Copies of this chain bind each other. A is one copy, B any other.
């Protein structure tokens, strides 16, 4: 095996992902369900030691994500926008472990932690990028990038809201697996054209199931379209007249690409894992040979 010379870590709320790296190349990949959410601050060091067992000792470690939250290993404080999209780092005292700082915004209030690393990674490949990055997910982020800086950004709870409505609300009785593009498109168009009426359309998904006028698969696609349309209505200042770089898991990113294409907006799609690693590599370069 090629000898790794540093370790990249994406340490989120639920999961811990690690890559033994040689420069920008992946030597080995590991994953564990040891997210920040189940750890106390004293446990991170031991979990990291265990997860990197067999890898050379004392390689520098660069980590992003919730590991740097107040309830994480050590707090890697938010950097306020406008901020250079290159990673800002905090070292864990006494260890060759660096954590990437999150980014915050005061007005309107917003925060990101983890996405800033993906944005840095994307910009490493496209240093002249001037436009908008959309990172669809549990809390979708829209960020305006210019001259290598994150200028401002906004989060939408679309992924989490879909999960709550489809999994825990009364709508769960009427929803199946999304699989109806026409229903997605219709929900999207209605929510975008009349966002003030989108809210009142939610319960209709249950009612239409009860009176037999909508099948579960269409209902799920329609809910997805309504929520993304609602988000696009609010995020219009971000995407209108812009090229949008999508950074997200393929399935959900494809929905956003479809939704934006319907508004005449061109998108490019980048892989999140590659962007995360590229962002962490950028951070690793900033550390250099620092002890």
A-to-B contact residues, CB < 8 Å: 70, 78, 104-106, 108-111, 139, 154-157, 160-161, 164-165, 168-170, 195-204, 206-208, 210-211, 213-214, 230-231, 233-236
Closest to A213 in B: B109
- Whether the Cβ atoms of A200 and B111 lie closer than 8 Å is no
| Residue of B111, B157, B164, B236 touching A210 (CB-CB under 8 A) | B111
Cβ–Cβ contact A211 & B108, under 8 A: no
Question: In whole Å, how far is A165's beta carbon from the nearest beta carbon of chain B?
Answer: 8
- Please give, as numbers and ranges, the residues of chain B lying within 8 Å of A207 by CB-CB distance: 104-105, 109-111, 155
Docked CA distance A105–B199 (Å):
18
Q: Are A200 and B156 in contact (CB under 8 A)?
A: yes
Q: Which of B104, B199, B201 contacts A231 (CB 8 A)?
A: B199
Contacts of A155 in B (CB 8 A): 200, 203-204, 207
Identical subunits present? 2
Residues of chain B within 8 A (CB-CB) of A105 are 207
- Which one, B164, B165, B199, contacts A156 given CB within 8 A? B199
**Interface pair B104/A203, CB less than 8 Å apart:** no
- CB pair B164–A211 under 8 Å, yes or no, is no
Say which residue of B154, B161, B165, B211 sits within 8 Å of A109 (CB atoms): B211
CB distance from A128 to the nearest CB of B (A): 29
Contact of A78 among B165, B168, B211 (CB under 8 A): B211
- Residues in B with CB closer than 8 Å to A139 are 170, 203
Q: How far is the CB of A226 from chain B (nearest CB, A)?
A: 11
Q: For residue A156, which residues in chain B have a CB less than 8 angstroms away from its CB?
A: 199-200, 202-203
| Among candidates B160, B200, B236, residue contacting A169 with C-beta atoms closer than 8 Å | B160
